[in-house]
Chain A
């Protein structure tokens, strides 16, 4: 499901969007603060601010569906990964450090693209994090254009 190329892309400096939904099927939106491919378990671990994105965090429970879109700011290349949540937990110290490094790196990259710290002031944070681990089940190309939404590879049975 997650090839080495896709794993490398996901772990490169990308902006991250996360969505979960409630029982009425209303989808919610959050911005991620880092993402990593857990090669041992085949999971993706995405970090986000619990307090800022309480709707997404509140609906992130084991067994619930989740969608994560990652996009490279320089060329808009993007993937969307869908899956099933396996675990919701506080981040380890290493994960916390990774989130801090992620925010710093993204601020640098976005500044090079002309996006200011003020414009990103509410977007990136490494505070009050929660880690959501999920089993990927579907991968879609999401780069803007006619191929956006095309499935990449075969879906995995949930």
Chain B
């Protein structure tokens, strides 16, 4: 019997699988099914969406025969299956359901592929179908890297970093150098958990700091919503999905920053960054190659994402507990002749516009408004993490554990867009507002 772990790439669902059964009268039944899901060396799960005849036959006979296809090599394998049980909830069910949800969108099938139940089977035999003649040979691929070693190295490197910004840079740098993943993004959730904002990216023409993905939509948003890794191996047949994503990316509007994205991605992998049960972000990689990410990459990136989440969380704690407040700093106000910077602030969602251009929203927007208002009123330019955390007058939501990442997001967004307002970090735990002009702040109520 072929080991199931040796044919893991055949469980990607890129080429539809096939299932055959026999009914009570001895008549065979054969149909496609979207996925055969690998569970362990002896078990697979079949997503039972609408093949009721198959389900009835399996209940009667207790056996089924499936064929899975490796989308990369075309190799086919036959699995002799023995039905064990059917499940309609639980971790495995949710994992398969979320993957199917994204795949059905990617194949333009809406919710046709909505999962109803998941049938668990024991695999009694697994054997290859040997072709008489192969039409084409698979492309040469690089020998697989040792993902566990690479993940271990990268986790250790992230753990050595002293601050959150260095951790983010270290993670993306390591994904490129140790994994060969050239296009990567880290996004962090907003306070309401509805959007994710780009805080770090690599491999794109623009960083896209502050650009947003919607939780529950697309590969990134679904991984965040389900808190599970999501991997898509071959998006060639998903042009409609790619187009839809691109339309989202290209959507014009005053509050839109383009999300860093490849124009024609063929593989995507999004991994939630979880620590102590909390979602701290999503680590996302993509490629223009099909099958760029294997299940081993998924497992390795899950380790990296967990390490990054925990390190970021610890960095927040470190900032909040160990840094003394800075000396009061009252910089002289700009000369009367200084240019006027028009600032428009929407308290409702924290959106802030500078000289008519959208900058950022949410907590980073509220923070920027706070800095600018203080500067306008007192000429003050230096602030500390600790005072922000303690200042109840800010009336900001509870952000004890994500202030640092929001400050990074804000600083990077300001730097990328350029303009008269910048933030710098002169010392650990301190923030300096650099304002080339005098802000004139309008509070918008719309």
User: Which residue numbers of A lie inside 8 Å of B, CB to CB?
Assistant: 17-21, 25-29, 49, 51-53, 55, 65-69, 71, 78, 80, 82, 107, 113-125, 127-128, 138, 140, 142, 144-146, 148-149
Chain A residues with Cβ under 8 A from B22's Cβ? 21, 25-27
Q: What are the interface flags for B66-98 relative to A under an 8 Å C-beta threshold, 1 for contact and 0 otherwise?
A: 110101111110101000000000000000000
Q: What A residues does B51 contact at CB under 8 A? A: 148-149
Using Cβ atoms and an 8 Å threshold, which residues of chain B touch A17? 18, 30-32
The segment out of B133-141, B200-208, B267-275 that lies at the interface is B133-141
The answer to whether residues A29 and B20 also contact, given A65-B26, A67-B28, A119-B15 and a CB cut-off of 8 A, is: yes
Q: Which residue of B lies closest to A146 (CB)?
A: B50
Q: CB-nearest residue of chain A relative to B21? A: A27
- Docked CA distance A35–B332 (Å): 87
With the chains together, A78 CA to B210 CA distance in Å?
A: 46
Most-contacted residue by chain A among B26, B69, B135 (CB, 10 A): B135
The reply to whether A26 and B63 contact each other, CB–CB distance below 8 Å, is yes
- The list of the 7 closest CB pairs from A to B, nearest first, reads A114-B236, A121-B74, A27-B20, A19-B30, A19-B28, A25-B22, A19-B20
Within the assembled complex, what's the spacing in Å between the Cα atoms of A153 and B174? 61
Per-residue CB proximity of B53-72 to A under 8 Å, as 1/0? 10000000101111101011
Report whether B65 and A27 are in contact in the complex, using a CB–CB cutoff of 8 Å: yes
Cβ-defined contact, B50 with A125, below 8 A: no
Q: Does A118 lie within 8 Å of B73, measured CB to CB? A: yes
Binary contact track B1-41/A, C-beta < 8 Å → 1, others 0: 00000000000001100101110001111111000000000
Question: Which residues of B have CB within 8 Å of A55?
Answer: 78
Q: Is A51 a contact partner of B28 (Cβ separation < 8 A)?
A: no
| Residue of chain B at shortest CB distance from A52 | B132
In contact, B28 and A121 (Cβ under 8 angstroms): no
Name, among B21, B28, B32, the residue most crowded by chain A CB atoms within 10 Å (CB to CB). B28
Contact B65 A121, beta carbon cutoff 8 Å: no
Write the B229-261 contact mask toward A (1 if CB under 8 angstroms, else 0).
Answer: 000000011010000000000000000000000
Check B129 against A28 for contact (C-beta < 8 Å): no
Are B30 and A121 in touch, CB under 8 angstroms? no
Q: How large is the interface on B (under 10, 10 to 19, 20 to 34, 35 or more residues)?
A: 35 or more
**In the bound complex, do residue A121 and residue B21 qualify as a contact, i.e. CB atoms below 8 Å apart?**
no
Contact A144 B49 (CB under 8 A): yes
- Flag whether B337 is at the interface (Cβ < 8 A): no
Q: Kindly list chain B residues whose C-beta atoms are within 8 Å of the C-beta of A78.
A: 31-32
- Which of chain A's residues has its CB closest to B34's CB? A144
Q: Residues on B close to A: CB < 8 A?
A: 14-15, 18, 20-22, 26-32, 49-53, 61, 63-67, 69, 71-76, 78, 80, 109, 112-113, 129-139, 236-237, 239
Sampled A-B contacts (9; CB under 8 Å): A28-B65, A67-B28, A114-B236, A115-B237, A119-B71, A125-B132, A144-B113, A145-B112, A148-B51
8 Å CB contact of B135 from A26, A53, A80, A117: A117
Measured CB to CB, the nearest residue on chain B to A117 is: B136
Contact A114 B237, beta carbon cutoff 8 Å = yes
Separation of A144 and B28 alpha carbons in the complex (Å):
19
Q: With A27-B64, A118-B73, A122-B74 given, is the CB distance from A52 to B129 under 8 Å?
A: yes
Which one of A52, A107, A113, A149 lies within 8 Å of B237 (CB-CB)? A113
Distance between Cα atoms of A71 and B135 in the complex (Å): 21
A118 contacts B65, C-beta separation under 8 Å = no
Given the known A-B contacts A26-B65, A29-B20, A115-B237, are A149 and B52 also in contact in the complex, defined by CB atoms under 8 Å?
yes
CA distance A140 to B135 in the complex (A): 32
Q: How far is the CB of B54 from chain A (nearest CB, A)?
A: 8
A52 close to B130 (CB less than 8 A): yes
Given contacts A29-B20, A29-B78, A123-B74, contact A49 B63 (CB under 8 A): no
Q: In this complex, what residue of B is CB-closest to A127? A: B132
19 extra interface residue pairs, beta carbon distance < 8 Å, beyond A29-B18, A67-B28, A82-B29: A17-B30, A19-B28, A19-B30, A25-B63, A27-B28, A28-B65, A55-B78, A114-B236, A115-B15, A118-B136, A118-B139, A119-B71, A122-B74, A122-B131, A123-B76, A124-B135, A138-B27, A144-B109, A149-B52
In the complex, chain B residues whose CB is within 8 Å of the CB of A148: 31, 50-52
Residues of A within 8 A of B67 (CB): 29
Complex alpha-carbon distance, A80 and B136, angstroms: 29
Note all chain B residues with C-beta closer than 8 A to A140: 53
**Which residues does chain B contribute within 8 Å of A149, judged by CB atoms?**
50-53
B132, A29: Cβ atoms under 8 Å? no
Write the chain A residue with the least CB distance to B15.
A119
With both chains docked as a complex, state the minimum distance between the C-beta of A155 and any C-beta of chain B, in angstroms: 11
Q: Which residues of B contact A122 (CB under 8 A)?
A: 69, 74-76, 129, 131, 134-135
